[in-house]
A and B are shown apart, each in its own frame.
Chain A
Amino acid sequence: MKFQYKVIFSFLLGMIAGKVINIIAIADETIQILLFILMFMIGFEGGYNVTSKEIGSGIKKGLKTLFVAILGSAIAGIIFIPFMGKLSLISSLGLGWYTFTGSYLATQIGGNAGFIGFVVNLSRELFGMIAIPSLSKKLPCYALISLAGSPASDTLFPFIYRECGDISIVPSIFQGLMTLFTVPLLISLVIGL
């Protein structure tokens, strides 16, 4: 079975399990622990294979992928302005960071905006889980990192790493880290416009 089918199957199974069994109480903590395990494993592989020269060029690539992720998201947000108003641009600039965007918009604009911000960014992350394994043969690795947006350094990082290998480690982590600073800044700037 192809990896992306396994991913879809696991996700659907999780959704059903979430409705039937009360595993939601432990889901959040388990996700965090699994992410730590994955990061440790990726760090191990990186320490074994990545050279110091690759770190420098990786940071440059990470800056470029971040810029492109912001650009692409802004274009998508502008396209949706006729349907959703300025909220589309604000939400799309969350770059997939749904926990922040959802809660921030809920406090700054209102509950409905928070919901939209949450769904826009969660769907981006879920789409990345399917798109990254599916499009890895057609798109260059750096385009996949831009596609991932903010989760490039956490939930989508294992997916990127699985398809792209060691060259993706530094740009993905760097892009994800930088979004911690750029997303709050961009969203509050656009809200203020």
Chain B
Amino acid sequence: MNSIIFVMLLLFSVVIGSMIGLTVKRRGISSSNFKGGFSLVFELVILILVFFIGAESSLKLGSEEIIQGILAIALGVTSAIMSSVSWQILERGSKK
């Protein structure tokens, strides 16, 4: 699927969900009625999602090129760490 269409569909899911959530709230239904089951299903769906991402990665990262990719993995992890560290540095700087 085209990535822009995919993101638009994801956003559409969020919008539909939020409209239903808003309707439920306006009808005065307490969140305690669905909170427990909601969290459980949410966690379960994440774990199934990770399972399938693992299955997909096994195909894509299973080649001999993985040795060449070690440096690339280090760069990916460093990019993530640097992004969060930059946030903290800028946040501290703006507070001073």
B20 to chain A minimum Cβ distance, whole angstroms, is 6
Q: Within the complex, which residue of B18, B55, B87 is in contact with A18, where a contact is CB–CB below 8 Å?
A: B55
Q: Which residues of A contact B7 (CB under 8 A)?
A: 153-154, 176-177, 180
The answer to whether B79 and A19 have CB atoms under 8 Å apart is no
CA A18 – CA B18 in complex, angstroms? 35
The distance in angstroms between the C-alpha atoms of A147 and B86, with both chains bound, is 10
Question: Which residues between 107 and 149 of chain A lie within 8 Å of chain B, taking CB atoms?
Answer: 112, 115-116, 118-124, 126-129, 131, 135, 139-140, 142-144, 146-149
Tell me the bound Cα distance from A4 to B83 in angstroms: 21
Residues of B within 8 A of A95 (CB): 79
Within 30-77 of A, Cβ neighbours of B (below 8 Å) are at 30-32, 34-50, 65, 68-69, 71-73, 75-77
Contact yes or no, B72 A43, CB < 8 A = no
Whether A47 lies near B83 (C-beta < 8 A) is no
Complex CA–CA separation, A99 to B4 (angstroms): 12
A168 touches B (CB below 8 Å): no
Contact B42 A162 (CB under 8 A): yes
By beta carbon, the residue of chain A nearest B13 is A39
Measured in the bound complex, the distance between the Cα atoms of B47 and A168 in whole Å is 20
Can you identify 18 A-B contacts, CB atoms within 8 angstroms? A17-B51, A17-B55, A18-B59, A27-B56, A35-B49, A43-B16, A48-B31, A68-B86, A71-B86, A75-B86, A96-B80, A123-B72, A123-B75, A124-B79, A146-B84, A158-B49, A177-B7, A177-B11
Chain A residues proximal to chain B, CB less than 8 Å: 3, 6-7, 10-19, 23-24, 27-28, 30-32, 34-50, 65, 68-69, 71-73, 75-77, 79-80, 83-84, 88, 91-92, 95-97, 99-100, 112, 115-116, 118-124, 126-129, 131, 135, 139-140, 142-144, 146-149, 153-155, 158-159, 162, 173, 176-177, 180
Interface residues of B (CB under 8 A from A): 1, 3-4, 6-7, 9-11, 13-25, 31, 38, 41-43, 45-62, 65, 68-69, 71-88, 90-91
